[in-house]
């Protein structure tokens, strides 16, 4: 069990005290949660140990590799065994960031939105609050990359556990009873540019060629440059022409001409890279390098191969679209090379985005007991029942009222929610009205539930504009889920602060 440091406001200096800011309130409330559930630190420590064991495994494999390079002494035949990272013992070594400091910076990242952007790095180092807290703990301010590595080793299972503890704490403190729930989805823009076929094709070929020039790091010959730089420049020039021509009068003929030239040049680049991959493949598999370097080489080699194969796919469907007029669904196309999990999200009459469509449940007092980031542009109706079941499991409370909009409405969903014991299942909109009995729809309880529906839209507005919920910095569904979970945890902390202040104000008012 980890000892929990206290948050001390004062230092040895008479005038150097922690200012009364939103950040210190968030940190103090997060440490109240930590005192309520100290085993959060054990979960974080386990995640840090898991990363440390992976690194140790690679170090041991490197030692074995270099030992094999020496001749064995007569009579010393060392039997080799497969190394299991989970079974390795971690001994005393270089001191690492404490689990409590990692927890602190998780809250900071949820509030600052980042720990590595130039703005957030400056805020962290200039923060009197953080400097006094760490000084009282006799801890030196860690570097941005150290903070990032330790935060990124935390699993989403640990973040979900922190949210579990937070909801349990909210119930214990009587801040919410979770009897009223509202669900909604929103679109979140991925950390990527809006794609066009030409841009995607150029980016794939460019990245594959870029990494092909890094093979010399591993003792392999780099791909010969040949005509690749000239071909890539030509594709970029043609892509710029296509972008400038789009939207102008009588531009279809020109666009088709530019795309034909782009596809012809890109095909040459693709065929050349395929030939170089075939030449280098045997050398990559046979090269004698230490395991840690082979691990890095495997990542680079897979990236080159995948990008070249993906460029073939883009060539095929772009040719079909431009030349043959056959358009594929967005789900069948490559929309981003930096975030392959991102999808085409179209929600209502809003502008479409390339990104994600998280599902969020809001309680009556504004807490978020559930968030999920599904893959692709999933139907809201399919996400409703799993979301409600997960919320009931987390809160241990069956809600009395469940509010949704038309996107979640279906007879099957309504019946299943009713079978769970939810008295008021309010599905707003024409479809919801159609499947709801007239007597229920006209009742006061259902009318109140429909009127409260706008609360979840207010929540999403607050998340997007106060917590940058609508634009994620990280890439890949696991990393995006981690980012949104951290923001939700910090948002819930601010709700605890707000509701407690409201309760204090109500106590001060005369009866």
pLDDT tens track of the chain, all 511 residues? 567 777 777 665 555 677 778 888 999 999 999 999 999 999 999 999 888 888 888 888 888 788 777 766 565 555 555 666 666 666 666 678 889 999 999 999 998 888 888 999 999 998 888 988 888 888 889 999 999 999 999 999 999 999 999 999 999 999 999 999 999 988 888 877 667 788 888 889 999 999 999 999 999 999 998 899 999 999 899 888 888 877 676 667 787 888 888 889 999 999 999 999 999 988 888 888 888 888 899 999 999 999 999 889 888 888 888 777 777 777 677 777 777 787 877 776 667 778 889 999 999 888 999 999 998 888 889 999 999 999 999 999 999 999 988 889 899 999 999 999 999 888 888 888 888 889 988 899 888 888 887 777 788 888 888 888 888 888 889 999 999 999 999 999 999 999 988 888 877 766 5
Same domain, 178 and 126: no
- 66-103: per-residue pLDDT in tens? 877 776 656 555 555 566 666 666 666 667 888 999 99
Strand 359-363 with 370-372, pairing: antiparallel
Is 355 in the same domain as 496?
yes
Do 389 and 305 lie in one domain? The reply is: no
- Which residue carries 């919801």 as its tokens? 432
Shared domain for 233 and 147, answered yes or no, is no
- Half-sphere exposure at residue 63, Cβ-oriented, CA atoms within 13 angstroms: 8
Is 2 a domain residue?
A: no
Closest listed residue to residue 117, CA positions, set 86, 141, 148 = 148
Q: Which of 310, 332, 354 is the last residue of a domain?
A: 332
Count of CB atoms within 10 A of residue 468's CB? 16
Asked, for residue 9, whether it belongs to a domain, the answer is no
- Same structural domain, 317 and 266: yes
Contact 311, 305 (CB under 8 A): no
Q: How many domains does the chain have?
A: 3
Judgement on whether residues 276 and 322 belong to the same structural domain of the protein: yes
337 belongs to a structural domain: no
Sheet arrangement for strand 353-356: 188-189, 353-356, 343-345
* Beta-bridge partner residues of 79: none
> The pTM is what?
0.85
Is the same domain home to 208 and 63? no
Residue 4 lies in a domain: no
User: Is residue 338 in some structural domain?
Assistant: no
Domain annotation covers residue 3: no
Same domain as 476, residue 398: yes
Whether 464 and 502 map to the same domain: the answer is yes
Same domain, 306 and 356: no
Burial class (CB in 10 A: 0-12, 13-18, 19+), 94: exposed
Number of alpha carbons in the 13 Å side-chain half-sphere of residue 419:
8
Q: Is there a domain that residue 10 lies in?
A: no
Residue finishing a domain among 96, 131, 154: 154
**CA separation for the pair 506, 511 (Å, rounded):** 9
Range of the domain at 348: 161-191+343-508
Q: Is 17 part of a structural domain of the chain? A: no
Residues 495 and 350 in one domain: yes
Q: Which of these three, 274, 299, 332, is where a domain ends?
A: 332
Q: In terms of domains, do 29 and 139 share one?
A: yes
């Amino acid at each position: 069990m980890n000892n929990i440091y206290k948050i001390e406001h004062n230092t040895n200096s008479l005038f150097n005290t922690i200012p009364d800011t939103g950040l210190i309130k968030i940190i103090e409330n997060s440490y109240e949660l930590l005192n309520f559930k100290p085993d959060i630190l054990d979960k974080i420590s386990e995640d840090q140990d898991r990363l440390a064991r992976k690194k140790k495994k690679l170090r041991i494999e490197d030692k074995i590799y270099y030992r094999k390079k020496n001749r064995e002494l007569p009579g010393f035949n060392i039997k080799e065994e497969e190394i299991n990272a989970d079974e390795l013992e971690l001994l005393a070594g270089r001191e690492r960031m404490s689990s409590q400091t990692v927890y602190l910076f998780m809250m900071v990242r949820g509030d600052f939105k980042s720990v590595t952007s130039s703005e957030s790095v400056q805020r962290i180092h200039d923060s009197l609050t953080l400097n006094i807290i760490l000084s009282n703990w006799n801890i030196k301010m860690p570097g941005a990359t150290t903070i990032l590595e330790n935060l990124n080793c935390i699993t989403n299972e640990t973040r979900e556990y922190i949210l579990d503890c937070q909801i349990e704490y909210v119930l214990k403190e009587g801040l919410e009873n979770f009897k009223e729930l509202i669900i909604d989805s929103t679109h979140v823009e991925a950390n990527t540019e809006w794609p066009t076929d030409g841009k995607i094709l150029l980016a794939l070929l460019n990245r594959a060629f870029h990494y092909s020039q890094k093979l010399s790091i591993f003792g392999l010959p780099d791909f010969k440059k040949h005509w690749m730089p000239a071909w890539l420049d030509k594709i970029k020039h043609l892509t710029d022409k296509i972008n400038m021509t789009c939207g102008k009068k009588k531009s279809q003929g020109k666009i088709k001409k530019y795309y034909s030239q782009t596809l012809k040049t890109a095909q040459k680049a693709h065929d050349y890279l395929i030939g170089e991959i075939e030449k280098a493949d045997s050398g990559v598999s046979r090269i004698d390098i230490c395991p840690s370097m082979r691990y890095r080489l495997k990542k680079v080699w897979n990236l080159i191969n995948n990008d070249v194969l993906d460029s073939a796919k883009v060539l095929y469907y772009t040719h079909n679209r431009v030349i043959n007029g056959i358009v594929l669904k967005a789900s069948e196309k490559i929309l981003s090379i930096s975030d392959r999990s991102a999808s085409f999200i179209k929600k209502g009459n809003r502008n479409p985005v390339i990104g994600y469509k998280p599902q969020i449940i809001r309680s009556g007092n504004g807490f978020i007991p559930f968030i999920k980031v599904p893959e692709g542009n999933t139907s809201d109706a399919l996400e409703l029942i799993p979301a409600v079941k997960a919320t009931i499991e987390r809160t241990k409370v069956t809600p009395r009222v469940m509010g949704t909009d038309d996107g979640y409405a279906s007879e099957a969903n309504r019946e299943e929610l009713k079978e769970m014991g939810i008295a008021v299942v309010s599905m707003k909109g024409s479809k919801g009205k159609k499947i709801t009995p007239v007597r229920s729809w006209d009742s006061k309880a259902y009318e109140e539930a429909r009127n409260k529906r706008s609360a979840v839209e207010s929540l999403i507005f607050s998340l997007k504009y106060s917590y940058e919920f609508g634009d994620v910095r990280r890439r890949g569904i696991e990393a995006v889920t981690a980012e949104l979970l951290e923001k939700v945890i910090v948002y819930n902390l601010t709700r605890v602060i707000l509701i407690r202040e409201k309760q204090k104000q109500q106590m001060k008012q005369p009866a």
